[in-house]
């Protein structure tokens, strides 16, 4: 069984004309939205960084795409290697533009 070490599901939804106003996700209109899921999966000595996107419009899914970036679990760097730090355990930061 594959061990999923990190999973973040983020739904970015447009609910009103003022994008600065924060609303709880349960109060947003989910009929028209862009849903993004980020997942980290360890597979042997590799880490799969999987991004899945779904675009919904008027209650219908109009597009979807899945991308995967594969890296070594502990890549070679100039800095000393911390045996506790692997790419399967680093935090995920999301920037929305």
What is the reported pLDDT for 32?
Answer: 87
- pLDDT tens-digit series, residues 77-90: 777 666 667 888 88
Region 63-81 average pLDDT: 86
Phi, psi of 17 (to 5 degrees): -75, -15
Q: Quick check: pTM over 0.85?
A: no
- pLDDT tens-digit series, residues 7-63: 323 333 333 344 557 666 666 666 888 989 999 999 999 999 999 999 999 989 999
Identify the burial level of 88 via C-beta atoms within 10 angstroms of its C-beta, where 0-12 means exposed, 13-18 middle and 19 or more buried: buried
Terminal Cα-to-Cα distance of the chain (whole angstroms): 36
């Amino acid at each position: 069984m594959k061990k999923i070490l990190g999973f973040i599901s983020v739904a970015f939804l447009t609910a009103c004309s003022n994008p600065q106003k924060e609303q709880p996700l349960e109060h947003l209109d989910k009929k028209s939205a862009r849903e993004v899921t980020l997942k980290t999966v360890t597979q042997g000595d590799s880490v799969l960084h999987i991004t899945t996107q779904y675009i919904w419009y008027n209650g219908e899914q109009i597009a979807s795409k899945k991308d995967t970036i594969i890296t070594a679990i502990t890549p070679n760097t100039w800095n000393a290697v911390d045996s506790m730090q692997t790419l399967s355990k680093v935090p995920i930061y999301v920037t929305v533009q």
